[in-house]
């Protein structure tokens, strides 16, 4: 009995090992199930197309692209030519060559600007732009601008405008980012992105301040922008973050008022200094600078510098 089990086990090992070898290089496609690409016939256009799609699955991208290009050249205006053009764009995307992927999608649209597949292709271009943002923001901006140009009121036009703004922000071009977020609000007032744009506009100002070093005029405008966001979105998802930023801004503004007061004390102008100390206590009572300002006011009164 043991010998029979041992023989059975050995046979099973050989069987499964043989199965693995026989499936090596085979690929699965929805049209053909399991196939061995090297055994496929390639006599007809349809067969060449199927072969190219299996090469895509095997990540033989450049070989697949060459076949798709030949199909388009030999069969212009056919359904297989259209599918081949889309597959070229998809294959370049898989290769990470986003510029060529976008160009391939654009070539499809240029051949048929009123194609029923336009929404589908614009969505694919959008994904190209999103991926391109990671390495080439300027290139991504061109993609999103073209999507808006193709269909300015389309379902991803507002999304594209937001991405343009984010690209500018990543490039640290904060003025352009702010303008782009303003465009979201102006051109797509009913978009779900409006509250987000309202938050990002003053945030761009705040980021600009950090670059310019203590631009208090921008700081005040930034705070006003965040207050507008809170007024329009009292239950918004970014309320908590907005309040934290406002507290940060108030701390900076309070520090500025306090330091101005100290400047006048050094100039022996306590009458002017107390104006700024009182401003700190009245306008920023919860800041760390408020207690310091109160101490200065008490000291000035104690020594008789002010009444």
Q: What is the pLDDT along the chain (307 residues), one digit of tens a residue?
A: 545 544 444 444 433 343 333 344 555 555 555 455 555 556 688 999 999 999 998 999 999 999 999 999 999 989 999 999 999 999 999 999 999 999 999 999 999 998 999 999 999 999 999 999 999 999 999 999 999 999 999 889 999 999 999 999 999 999 999 999 999 999 999 999 999 999 999 999 888 876 665 567 788 888 899 999 999 999 999 999 999 999 988 888 898 889 988 998 888 888 888 888 998 999 899 888 999 999 998 898 888 776 6
Residue 300 lies in a domain: yes
Residue 288 lies in a domain: yes
The pLDDT of residue 11 is: 42
Domain span at residue 262?
A: 254-307
Please state at what angle helix 174-187 crosses helix 194-212, rounded to 10 degrees.
160
DSSP state of 75: S
In the chain, how many domains are there? 1
Residue 277 lies in a domain: yes
Closest CA to 79 of 33, 111, 123: 111
Residue 274 lies in a domain: yes
Closest CA to 60 of 42, 80, 87, 79: 87
Residue 66 lies in a domain: no
Residue 184 lies in a domain: no
pTM comes to 0.74
Residue 84 lies in a domain: no
Residue 232 lies in a domain: no
């Amino acid at each position: 009995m043991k010998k029979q089990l041992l023989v059975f086990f050995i046979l099973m090992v050989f069987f499964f090992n043989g199965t693995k070898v026989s499936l090596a290089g085979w690929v699965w496609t929805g049209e053909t199930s399991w196939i061995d690409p090297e055994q496929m016939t390639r006599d007809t256009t349809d067969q060449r197309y199927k072969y190219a799609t299996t090469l895509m699955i095997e990540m033989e991208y450049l070989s697949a692209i060459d076949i798709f290009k030949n199909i388009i050249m030999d069969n212009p205006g056919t359904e297989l030519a259209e599918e081949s053009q889309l597959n070229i764009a998809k294959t370049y995307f898989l290769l990470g060559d986003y510029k060529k992927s976008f160009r391939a999608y654009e070539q499809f649209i240029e051949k048929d600007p009123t194609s029923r597949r336009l929404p589908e292709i614009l969505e694919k271009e959008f994904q190209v732009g999103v991926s391109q943002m990671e390495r080439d923001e300027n290139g991504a901006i061109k993609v999103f601008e073209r999507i808006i140009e193709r269909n300015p009121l389309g379902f991803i036009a507002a999304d594209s405008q937001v991405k343009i703004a984010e690209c500018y922000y990543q490039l640290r071009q904060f003025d352009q980012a702010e303008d782009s977020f303003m465009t979201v609000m102006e051109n797509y007032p009913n978009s779900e992105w409006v509250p987000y744009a309202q938050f990002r506009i003053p945030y761009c100002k705040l980021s600009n301040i950090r670059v310019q070093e203590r631009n208090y005029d921008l700081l005040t405008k930034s705070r006003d922008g965040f207050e507008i966001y809170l007024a329009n979105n009292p239950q918004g998802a970014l309320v908590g973050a907005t309040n934290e930023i406002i507290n940060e801004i108030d701390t900076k503004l309070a520090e500025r008022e306090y330091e101005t007061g100290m400047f006048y004390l050094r100039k022996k102008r306590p009458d002017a200094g107390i104006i700024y100390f009182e401003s700190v206590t009245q306008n920023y009572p919860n800041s760390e600078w408020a207690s310091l300002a109160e101490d200065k006011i008490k000291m000035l009164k104690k020594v008789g510098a002010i009444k």
